[in-house]
Amino acid sequence: MDIQRSEIEKMEMLLIEGIKKSDINFLDKTIHDDLLCMGPDGRTITKAMDLASHKAGEMIVEELTPTIEDIRIIGDTAVSTIVYDTKGSMLGNPIEGKFKYIRVWKMFDDGLKVIAASCFKLS
């Protein structure tokens, strides 16, 4: 099942809305159970940790404006790079600036899922 660039662009935009709204149902079905994500502090984040922070209201997103830089398709897998202008807080600590993400999307029988990601602060 090959992936089209437009599918990844759509999923990235839906993911942003899911994050902004802490839409647990959407995030649960879009993030693979075995996700590994490297946060800007170098900490490894799992799906369970990510969903828990949304459920607990620990992540407050005031602004999340994306710029998709690149999408590479490799069969049933895609790699995307995105820069976000971000403002909000996590665990009561303010977060503001530009953050760059790389995400790995893979097509499964039930749709595209994020299987890996990494993030770092640009400014």
Q: What is residue 4's three-state secondary structure?
A: coil
The DSSP output letter for 83 is E
Rg of the chain in Å (alpha carbons): 14
Phi-psi region of 20 (alpha: psi -120 to 50; beta: other; left: phi over 0): alpha
CATH of the domain at 89: 3.10.450.50
Tokens (6 digits) for 26: 């959407």
pTM, rounded to two decimals: 0.92
| Tally of domains within the chain | 1
Name the residue range of residue 95's domain: 5-121
Q: What is the pLDDT of residues 41-88, one digit of tens each?
A: 899 999 999 999 899 988 888 999 999 999 999 999 999 999 999 999
Q: What is the pLDDT of residues 16-42, one digit of tens each?
A: 999 999 999 999 999 999 999 998 889
